[in-house]
Amino acid sequence: MKAFSRAASQMFAVLLLLGVCFSPIALTAADLEKGEANYRKCKACHQVADGADLIVKGGRTGPNLFGIVGRAAGSVQGYKYSPDLKEAGERGLVWNEELLVEYVENPKAFLTNYLGKNARSRMSFRMKKSEDIIAYLASFNKLDVTTGEGIDGARPNATDDKALR
């Protein structure tokens, strides 16, 4: 019994390690579906549009989220960001999935932490555990490197500023 539980706990440690390596966001079809459904919480303020190609209709209070993964923070041309989000981008903040989950959980705290000063955010919305939503958003800019095509119907990433307007 003792030997068994040691083996079990070793196995658990390995699984934990694997989990850490592949975290934070493992893409499954179910996650993407959940993310698509949950994205309605963001829709009131954000659209997803590849240039003139409107992928997900939404409000314009917040910036276009097309290509957000891999994009510099505060970089949509013509959108009026808060000075603090703009500054974070200018200081080199580039969004990845992990950072996006953290930001959405508490934009003000995220910026305060990043900038090392009491920051303000214009995004008043907060949400915990947005991994599925972020995975859904990431699906719009997954490129197959061999063909240059989007994977599974996803759109290629924006290549010029016009596509982010």
The 3-state DSSP class for residue 72 equals strand
Rule CB under 6 A: choose which of 81, 110, 136, 140 binds ligand HEC.
Answer: 81
In the range 90-129, which residues lie near ligand HEC by CB under 6 A?
100, 103-104, 121-125, 127
Among 47, 130, 139, 141, binds ligand HEC (CB under 6 A): 130
Cβ(136)–Cβ(103) under 8 Å? no
Helix, coil or strand: residue 143:
strand
Q: How far is the CB of 29 from ligand HEC (least distance, A)?
A: 20
Report the alpha-carbon distance of residue 72 to residue 144 in Å, rounded: 22
3-class SS at 71?
coil
- Answer for which of 24, 34, 55, 82 binds ligand HEC (CB under 6 A) is 82
Site for ligand HEC in 8-67 (CB under 6 A): 41-42, 44-46, 61-63, 65
Shortest separation between residue 41's beta carbon and ligand HEC, angstroms? 5
Provide the phi-psi class of 87: left if phi over 0, else alpha when psi is between -120 and 50, else beta.
alpha
Q: How far is the CB of 151 from ligand HEC (least distance, A)?
A: 21
Judged by CB under 6 A, the stretch of 12-20, 50-58, 71-79, 153-161 that binds ligand HEC is: 71-79
Using the minimum distance from each CB to ligand HEC, give the nearer residue, 16 or 37: 37
Q: ∠29-61-53 over CA atoms, to 5°?
A: 55
Report the alpha-carbon distance of residue 146 to residue 144 in Å, rounded: 6
Residue 11, phi then psi, degrees to nearest 5 = -60, -45
Query: What radius of gyration, in Å, describes the C-alpha atoms of the chain?
Result: 18
**Shortest Å distance, C-beta 85 to ligand HEC:** 4
Interface contacts to ligand HEC, rule CB under 6 A: 41-42, 44-46, 61-63, 65, 68, 73-76, 81-82, 85, 100, 103-104, 121-125, 127, 130, 133
